Amino acid sequence: MTATLDRPAVDTADLLPRLLTGDSELAAHRARFGPLPLAPFTGTAGRRRLVEGIVHAGLRGRGGAGFPTGRKLATVAAGRKTPVVVANGCESEPASSKDRVLLRYAPHLVLDGAALAAHAVGADRVFLCVERGTGHGERLERHLDERRDDPVRWHVVPVPRRYVASEESALVHFLNDGEARPLASPPRPYERGVEDRPTLIDNVETLAHLALIAYHGPDWFRAVGTGSDPGSALVTVAGAVANPGVFEVAPGTSLGEMLDAAGGPTEPLGAALVGGYFGTWVPLPQAVHLPLSHDPTGPAGTTLGAGAIVALPAGSCGLAETSRVLGYLAAESANQCGPCHFGLPAVAEDMAAVIHGRADPGTRNRLRTRLGVIAGRGACKHPDGAIRLVASALDAFAADLDMHLAGYTCTGLRQHPVLPLPDPEDRDREWR
Ligand SMILES: Cc1cc2nc3c(=O)[nH]c(=O)nc-3n(C[C@H](O)[C@H](O)[C@H](O)COP(=O)(O)O)c2cc1C
Ligand code: SF4
């Protein structure tokens, strides 16, 4: 098995791969799957059957929260105005490459899924949102040139490269007013989104699974994964593993098996970050058997989240890594709500004091108090995700925290950073 961060590798289990079959051209894709399966779902009853099929399949969103896709489809379909569909392919998560790999290697599965989702909810337009300057917009335009008979109008939308610009209300704001900052809720996009219409926003991987369900049926979909989190899932595995890349796995697979899929550790590991930068740290080797899915598990409530796993060598400092990522997340906020304007910078300052040996006796309690008051107070979930990462670091690296609070400066500061962060030069400063 070979893989790089921008080339897919596949699990060797009998029933996988499902998504990463490598049919990037339309002819090969149609040869494998046949025509877009609209015929079985014609008319109002057919559309309802499609939504019910997705509900029965138990598909859950692959964009981070694992929300049931069928429930969202049913809500949008019941709206009074003609809905629109937004495919979220921005993938602003720095530790993740899965959506980029999917768009590159199975673009027509994503496009089929978006067209079928539009059909299911009665939408006639689909907005394909991708990060600006990545080449995905241009590639999608080329693929769409070959799909002029699709029953929807396609709009490829390059979005500013900022972490929170791909949050769902930020995408709606961008499509309506040209500014990619999150909006206060309610209403949520599924009630009133683009042009005040009910708006279905789904991650591109979610849409690709939706297409597979329409082709093969809900029972086929449920043949892998767990009862409450069926199907396969793409995960990006990075850090101290022999063969970092994007892998297709079944939810319920253990953390150790996922690391093995990526060639196994290259050195003794101290922890893994699971779920991306809104995820949780889990200690290794203790958590090696932890089964990963979109259902919370283990003491930290770990989930697959955005499908990114980073293996941390035992010699690296998880607190220093967390501090660095928190600094990034704090700087990437839209800076328009209290928890982002005051809370995240204050927590970032405390974390920096800890790892530089500048902490005072009150730092531990102050950190815990601050984390406690930030949750649930922002217009979007950005601050909640950022403090979930910090809270889990304080637990997973409790012994290191004690040492730092006793005045030891972090040896991890001299190590090569493990958690990837984008080059600031490659990011947009503006929201438009
Ligand atoms: C700060 C922030 C950034 C997000 N970035 C992405 C992203 O890059 N891609 C994505 O699919 N979802 C992202 N989400 C989640 C979306 O808001 C939304 O829940 C998701 O696209 C819904 O799709 P799903 O139900 O298929 O998971 C982000 C959420 C937050 C709070
Ligand atoms: S919570 Fe933070 S990122 Fe979200 S809208 Fe408010 S300021 Fe922006």
Q: For a pocket test of ligand 1, which of 85, 168, 173 has the largest count of ligand atoms closer than 8 A to its C-beta?
A: 168
pLDDT at 385: 96
Which residue's C-alpha comes closest to atom 8 of ligand 1?
A: 91
Task: Check pocket membership of 350 for ligand 1, CB cut-off 6 A.
Answer: no
**Count: domains in the chain:** 2
Do residue 63 and residue 194 come from a single domain?
yes
Do residue 69 and residue 202 come from a single domain?
yes
- Taking the CA of 385 as reference, the closest ligand is 1
Do residue 190 and residue 46 come from a single domain?
yes
Q: Which domain holds residue 339?
A: 318-414
- Structural domain includes residue 145: yes
What atom in ligand 2 is closest to the CA of residue 335?
A: 7
Task: Check pocket membership of 159 for ligand 2, CB cut-off 6 A.
Answer: no
- Structural domain includes residue 190: yes
Residue that finishes a domain, picked among 221, 241, 257: 221
Give me the tens of pLDDT residue by residue for the chain, a chain 432 residues long. Answer: 334 455 455 444 567 899 998 789 999 999 999 999 998 999 999 999 999 999 999 999 999 999 999 999 999 999 999 999 999 999 999 999 999 999 999 999 999 999 999 999 999 999 999 999 999 999 999 999 999 999 999 999 999 999 999 999 999 999 999 999 998 877 889 999 999 999 999 999 999 999 999 999 999 999 999 999 999 999 999 999 999 999 999 999 999 999 999 999 999 999 999 999 999 999 999 999 999 999 999 999 999 999 999 999 999 999 999 999 999 999 999 888 889 999 999 999 999 999 888 888 888 899 999 999 998 889 999 999 999 999 999 999 999 998 888 877 767 667 789 999 998 888 888 889
Residue that finishes a domain, picked among 190, 221, 252: 221
Do residue 22 and residue 171 come from a single domain?
yes
- Structural domain includes residue 131: yes
- Structural domain includes residue 272: no
pLDDT at 7: 46
Q: What CATH number has the domain bearing residue 22?
A: 3.40.50.11540
Task: Check pocket membership of 66 for ligand 1, CB cut-off 6 A.
Answer: no
pLDDT at 362: 87
- Structural domain includes residue 158: yes
Do residue 195 and residue 331 come from a single domain?
no
Do residue 12 and residue 159 come from a single domain?
yes
Whether this model's pTM surpasses 0.85: yes
Do residue 217 and residue 329 come from a single domain?
no
pLDDT at 14: 64
Residue that finishes a domain, picked among 162, 196, 221: 221
Query: According to the 3-state scheme, what is the secondary structure of the chain?
Result: CCCECCEECCCCCCCCCCCCCCCCCHHHHHHHHCCCCCHHHCHHHHHHHHHHHHHHHCCECCCCCCCEHHHHHHHHHCCCCCCEEEEEECCCCCCCCHHHHHHHHCHHHHHHHHHHHHHHHCCCEEEEEEECCCCHHHHHHHHHHCCCCCCCEEEEEEECCCHHHHCHHHHHHHHHHCCCCCCCCCCCCCCCCHHHCCEEEEEHHHHHHHHHHHHHCHHHHCCCECCCCECCEEEEEEECECCCEEEEECCCCEHHHHHHHCCCECCCEEEEEECHHHCEEEECCCCCCCECCCCCECCCCECCCCCEEEEEECCCCHHHHHHHHHHHHHHHCCCCCHHHHHHHHHHHHHHHHHHCCCCCCCHHHHHHHHHHHHCCCCCCCHHHHHHHHHHHHHHHCHHHHHHHHCCCCCHHHHCCCCCCCCCHHHCCCCCC
Q: What CATH number has the domain bearing residue 336?
A: 1.20.1440.230
pLDDT at 89: 98
- Structural domain includes residue 368: yes
Task: Check pocket membership of 20 for ligand 2, CB cut-off 6 A.
Answer: no
Task: Check pocket membership of 342 for ligand 1, CB cut-off 6 A.
Answer: no
- Structural domain includes residue 260: no
- Structural domain includes residue 388: yes
Say how many Å lie between the CA of residue 251 and the centre of ligand 2. 30
